[in-house]
Structure 1
Amino acid sequence: MPRNPIPRLRLAAQHLLKPVHDDPTEVVRHLGAVQAQDFPMSLWAVGIRMKHGTVPTVTEALDAGRILRTHVLRPTWHLVAAEDIRWMLRLSAPQVRTAMGSFARQLGITDTHYRKARRLFEKHLHGGQQATRTELVDLLKQARICTGDGSSLFLMDAELEGLICSGTGAGRQSSYALLDERVPPTSDLPGREEAAARLAQRYFTSHGPATLDDFAWWSGLPRGLARDGMEAVRAQFAGLTWEGYSYLLPAGLPDAAALPSFLLAAFDEYFISYKDRSAVIRPEHQAKAFTANGIFRPIVLEGGVAAATWKQMPAKGATAHLRLTSFDPATALSPRKLATAITRLSAFLGVPLQTT
């Protein structure tokens, strides 16, 4: 039976097989967006794709505003490069608002409420001020705009409007600042069709081999717009047919004969950003890697395929410990390859690591 080429090619496209950049902003720009509701894990998702990444090098880019954390694409947190945030918001906001709509109606939240909240946030944050999520929610309560479960909708609305974005310490205290004070405004934004094509170009460059269904899932775009975006850039990519599915991928990706082991972050792009994940995990193991409500665990890759989960345990003394849980106890993980993967994570975190 022919060898499945997809894991090797995706590892190369995602710069996991051979990191290209030392600048975390370039990593995020290459991927287009990095899912980031688990903030510490999102730092590692960037760091593992850097030549010499560390926690401080990634957090410094966030604190400086070169990388921002906001709700974009599918309605969840993502890291995006600052120069991409406005056109991505403009492209994805309509479908995110549609996803928010039914919940807002259930809570009785109207456009008038949203406008009042935006004015409140703008006044509070003007002049370089920053505030935590808790502080902004308290403002809503004091103004009697929101007193219940809808606070997240008001914050997301302000993000989608391009009013607020992550401030310094993003994720650690969920700080917010005015977007215009973090990223200078611009009127040079692409139209919807051009933006969809730009997003497709980013996605298939960094995530190929991938299908139209994969791109539509990752982007959150309506399928028709996703298809138009893909077709607009199809000529830039090579094609691959595998088990009856048609994929686009960058031409000239190396197809490595031997693959190292990887300790991937929870919600890593290698795993979460495809609708069909069967090329990188066996069906009987999927429930061990992610839950029905969308919680994706940190994964150990062997041969480009998910083989175990890992978890960092509380430190005992100066050394932190990793607990590995194999999907198939009869299949041994490579100690040599695993040691190299652990060394990389240890260097990123700046702490000694060992398995328990």
Structure 2
Amino acid sequence: MPRVPPPPALPTSISLLRIVAQGLVPATSAPTPHEAVRRQLAMQGQLFGSSLDAIAARTRQTSTDGVRAAFNHRELMRSWPMRGTIHVTTAEDHHWLRVALDNRRAAFKHRAETEFGVDEKLLKQAADIAFELIGEYGAVSRRTLVNEWARRGVVPADPHAAGAGHLRRSLIIWLHADGLLVQGPLQGNEPLLVDARTLPDATTGPGHSGRGSKAPTGNPAALAEIARRYATSHGPVTAADLARWSGLSKTVALRALRDAVSAADSPGASAFDGSHMVPLLRMSGAQLLRMAHAVAGGRQPAEAPAGEFVLRADLADLLAQSLPAARRTMLLPAFDELHIGYQDRSCLTDAAGETLLSPSKNGMFRPMLVDRGRVVAALADGQLVWADGQPASKRLERATQLAINRAARD
């Protein structure tokens, strides 16, 4: 079969628009860590320290200490509400988001049942022990819980026994995915486990039902809200971007994005939680490139990307007001949403840059230095590794030091 040519790379002007939408400039940054996470709906939380930095970067005049306080006040939670990766959400969004996307975890649950023997009896034993410890201490560490499971025979006492590690992890994830446990207040750098049943339940979510669905369409009101928040905080995005971020199929993601545009454009529209609903736009690739070029300039590709893009309606104006801030040099943490929050991130970096950020291609990412909307270096073991072997200019050297100093203050 003939080789299908890759799609055209997105221009850097799209990256600048995304930087603004992401809240990484003063005009769009959030007043509190809680609001920063609410706007994004869910933020990657695989490396907890990195997620603290990512939230702080999107919050006005707040260091990671402010983000820690939000966890300790139980405003922010860490769990597996979507896909197979841990994310940070607000307490209010945790359950309805988890339920709306529950049918996307069927493969994980099937494997836990068939390969590791997780059944309802075992889950109940594990949950009862967790609630007992939480009732006694208020919050417990993962190690304390697993050790108690081992003492009572729920998991093998020998952590190196065949399948022991997978069983422990499967129980932890399943209890989170079922809305029984969640991670909140901190002990040092570790979020402790608390009872998720104390959080606002799924019926407080969009559509006031919170019900999941075995059908691939799910709860339309909840999926539209997921798409709306994603497009507002990440746009310009496509259905493929939303599908990768949320775990939805592309067909469902496209429908959810179109529903989100309709909902946000309705007269007098307001979000289910009373927050401001920013109108959204649908644009073809050609329309988007013309708009982005008019605001940010730069070289444009000869061929426009296919598909439909969704973005907040005021994004071009916001970029025009914030162009110097969007172009500034910034050091962003590993797993930052500006990078991993998209299927197509060619506006931010190329194939060589992807290798620079994840040299082992094992799903682990390095912190990144972004300058004028492009990845120019990665941070490895405390040292910058430059995309071109060295900084391109004295200006970039000076700007890099300022970015590192800002990150250190946070």
| 1:16 aligns to 2:24 (yes or no) | yes
Q: 2: distance between equivalents of 1:309 and 1:34?
A: 21
The answer for the alignment partner of 2:368 in structure 1 is 299
2:11 and 2:347 in contact (8 A); partners too? no
Q: 1: distance between equivalents of 2:193 and 2:259?
A: 36
- Rate the CA distance shift 1:185–1:129 in 2: closer, same or farther, 3 A: same
Alignment-mate amino acid for residue 369 of structure 2 = V
The answer for the alignment partner of 2:204 in structure 1 is 188
Q: 1: distance between equivalents of 2:234 and 2:20?
A: 9
Does 11-20 or 75-84 show the bigger shift? 11-20
1:169 to 175, 182, 186: 186
The answer for the alignment partner of 1:264 in structure 2 is 332
| 1:229 aligns to 2:238 (yes or no) | no
**For 1:13-92, what aligned pairs fall within 5 Å after superposition?**
13-18=21-26, 19-92=28-101
1:281 and 1:305 in contact (8 A); partners too? yes
The answer for the alignment partner of 1:154 in structure 2 is 171
Aligned-partner SS, 1:239: strand
Deviations for 1:61-86, whole angstroms, at most 9, x for unmatched residues? 00110011111212111110111011
1:34 and 1:79 in contact (8 A); partners too? yes
The answer for the alignment partner of 2:301 in structure 1 is none
Aligned-partner SS, 1:169: strand
| 1:342 aligns to 2:404 (yes or no) | yes
Q: How many residues align?
A: 338
Q: 2: distance between equivalents of 1:165 and 1:179?
A: 5
Deviations for 1:25-77, whole angstroms, at most 9, x for unmatched residues? 00001111110111111111011111212121110000110011111212111
Deviations for 1:199-232, whole angstroms, at most 9, x for unmatched residues? 0000000000011010011011233332321121
The answer for the alignment partner of 2:281 in structure 1 is 238
Residue segments in structure 2 that go unaligned for 5+ positions in a row: 1-8, 157-163, 212-218, 265-279, 290-303
- The TM-score normalised by the length of structure 1 is 0.88
Does 61-70 or 123-132 show the bigger shift? 123-132
Does 260-269 or 111-120 show the bigger shift? 111-120
Q: Pick the structure with more strand per residue.
A: 1
| 1:250 aligns to 2:312 (yes or no) | yes
1:198 to 187, 211, 225: 225
The answer for the alignment partner of 1:351 in structure 2 is none
Deviations for 1:109-164, whole angstroms, at most 9, x for unmatched residues? 22332222222222332366211111111122123222212111111111112111
Q: 1: distance between equivalents of 2:184 and 2:40?
A: 22
The answer for the alignment partner of 1:219 in structure 2 is 246
- Rate the CA distance shift 1:233–1:50 in 2: closer, same or farther, 3 A: same
- Larger Rg over CA atoms: 2
Q: 2: distance between equivalents of 1:2 and 1:180?
A: 43
- Rate the CA distance shift 1:127–1:86 in 2: closer, same or farther, 3 A: farther
Alignment-mate amino acid for residue 247 of structure 1 = F
Q: 1: distance between equivalents of 2:98 and 2:188?
A: 19
Give the drift of 1:184.
4.6
The answer for the alignment partner of 1:282 in structure 2 is 350
Give the drift of 1:172.
2.0
- Rate the CA distance shift 1:221–1:170 in 2: closer, same or farther, 3 A: farther
Give the drift of 1:3.
5.6
1:73 and 1:221 in contact (8 A); partners too? no
- Rate the CA distance shift 1:188–1:49 in 2: closer, same or farther, 3 A: closer
Aligned-partner SS, 2:146: helix
- Rate the CA distance shift 1:74–1:3 in 2: closer, same or farther, 3 A: closer
Q: 2: distance between equivalents of 1:92 and 1:12?
A: 28
Residue segments in structure 1 that go unaligned for 5+ positions in a row: 314-322, 349-356
